[in-house]
């Protein structure tokens, strides 16, 4: 699969200079600037998460996972070789992969919340557009409509971002699973284990001669 970098949104332009009628109920400068402030926060948040993903993608692209580089039997051979350095590196790879999995899980939760906020923001702009239409404020209607449409498209972009993160997360989960499964298991059923499994019996007393 060919990966693509996540693009950034263009920061909201301050439009508080648009004319508003003094007697409008909702299509006013105060409400407009409040929604616009939220828009800037959303754009900033999305660009922040886009940057984090692009950094993760760069790391993922330049650092191939072991299960993508070696056959499972080769990884098993590294475990069995008894080389402390090799075993330590494999253990560290498992730990690092688990940390990436957890970090992606937290990122997915954060951008899911952002996606929710984006859809709410689209509704805010839609409401603003409708109120401004009632006041026949043509310029405000057009701009607020465009913002609403932009947020709906942004919601779709976030959904695609979630899919890309989930795919990378699954690859790290496969890395952990492969390395753990390739690690030799301790021998079962040893003599000491068998003796420990026997029921305890009373020790006979030694008879006097």
Residues 6+ apart with CB under 8 A from 21: 27, 28, 135, 137
DSSP 43: H
Distance separating alpha carbons of residues 112 and 162, to the nearest angstrom: 8
Average pLDDT value over all residues in the chain:
82
For residue 71, the SS3 value is coil
Q: Provide the pLDDT for residue 82.
A: 78
Which of the two residues, 27 and 201, has the higher pLDDT score? 27
Which of the two residues, 161 and 16, has the higher pLDDT score? 161
Q: What mean pLDDT is predicted for residues 186-208?
A: 48
For residue 197, the SS3 value is helix
Distance separating alpha carbons of residues 19 and 118, to the nearest angstrom: 26
pLDDT in tens, 67-83: 988 888 899 998 988 78
pLDDT in tens, 36-75: 999 999 999 999 999 999 999 998 888 889 998 888 889 9
Q: Provide the pLDDT for residue 198.
A: 46
Give yes or no for residue 208 having a pLDDT over 50.
Answer: no
pLDDT in tens, 112-161: 999 999 999 999 999 999 999 998 899 999 999 999 999 999 999 999 99
CA dist 186 → 80, 97, 173, 183, 189 (Å): 11, 24, 23, 10, 10
Q: Provide the pLDDT for residue 6.
A: 53
Task: Indicate the domain borders of the chain.
Answer: 29-182
Q: Provide the pLDDT for residue 188.
A: 60
For residue 106, the SS3 value is helix
Distance separating alpha carbons of residues 11 and 42, to the nearest angstrom: 9
Q: Provide the pLDDT for residue 9.
A: 53
pTM, to two decimals: 0.75
């Amino acid at each position: 699969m060919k990966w693509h970098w996540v693009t950034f949104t263009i920061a909201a332009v301050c439009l508080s200079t648009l004319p508003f009628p003094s007697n409008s109920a909702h299509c006013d400068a105060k409400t407009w600037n409040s929604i616009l402030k939220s828009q800037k926060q959303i754009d900033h948040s999305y660009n922040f998460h886009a940057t984090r993903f692009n950094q993760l993608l760069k790391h993922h692209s330049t650092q191939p996972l072991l299960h993508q580089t070696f056959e499972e039997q080769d990884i098993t051979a590294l475990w069995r070789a008894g080389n402390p350095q090799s075993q330590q590196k494999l253990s560290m790879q498992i730990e690092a992969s688990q940390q990436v999995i957890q970090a992606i899980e937290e990122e997915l939760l954060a951008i899911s919340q952002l996606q929710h906020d984006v859809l709410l923001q689209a509704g805010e702009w839609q409401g603003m557009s409708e109120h401004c239409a009632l006041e026949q404020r043509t310029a405000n209607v057009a701009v607020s409509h465009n913002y609403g449409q932009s947020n709906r498209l942004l919601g779709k972009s976030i959904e695609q971002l979630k899919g890309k993160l989930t795919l990378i997360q699954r690859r790290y989960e496969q890395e952990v699973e492969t390395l753990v499964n390739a690690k030799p298991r301790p021998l079962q059923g040893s003599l000491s284990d068998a003796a420990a499994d026997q029921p305890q019996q009373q020790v006979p007393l030694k008879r006097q001669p």
